[in-house]
Structure 1
Amino acid sequence: MAIKKELLEILACPKCKGDVILNEKGDGLICNACRLVYEIRNDIPIMLIDEAKPLKD
């Protein structure tokens, strides 16, 4: 089950409060401003700065 569009619209990066977008695989949320990826596990976005991974080019 993919993340719901309504949830995606209200989520923000916890670090900069900017917009996040769903990655191509659908398993992470990307903040382009911070260059971080927040993982989605069991359909739950893990919006913790300490658990975010750097965005790869």
Structure 2
Amino acid sequence: MNEKPATPAYDRHMLEALVCPVTHTTLAFDADRQELVSHAAGLAFPIRAGIPIMLVDEARQLKADD
């Protein structure tokens, strides 16, 4: 079965301390996509294996409909 784990593989408090590397503004957590979203920069940074990848080259460009 493809069930989500009962506890996240990352530390929520650590995610709350991270800021956007471009704008230095706070990030929003998107649990469905496992991303940290910077609305100010228009970027979404992936979380892979519980590790936020805070590299602009790895970020997904947000579209107007996101």
Does TM, scored on the shorter chain, surpass 0.5? Answer: yes
TM-score (norm 2): 0.76
Structure 2 gaps of 5+ residues are 1-7
The letter for the 2-side match of 1:15 is V
Match of 1:50 among 34, 57, 63: 57
1:9 is paired with a residue whose SS is helix
Structure 1 gaps of 5+ residues are none
TM-score (norm 1): 0.86
Q: RCO (CA 8 Å, sep 6+): is it higher in 1 or 2?
A: 1
Do structure 1's residue 40 and structure 2's residue 32 form an aligned pair?
A: no
> Which is greater in Rg?
2
Over the residues paired in the alignment, what is the CA RMSD in angstroms?
A: 1.4
Equivalences for residues 11-50 of structure 1 within 5 A: 11-25=18-32, 27-50=34-57
Q: Per-residue displacement from partner, 1:25-55 (whole Å, max 9, x unpaired)?
A: 1510000101100000000000001111111
Identical-residue share of aligned pairs (%) = 39
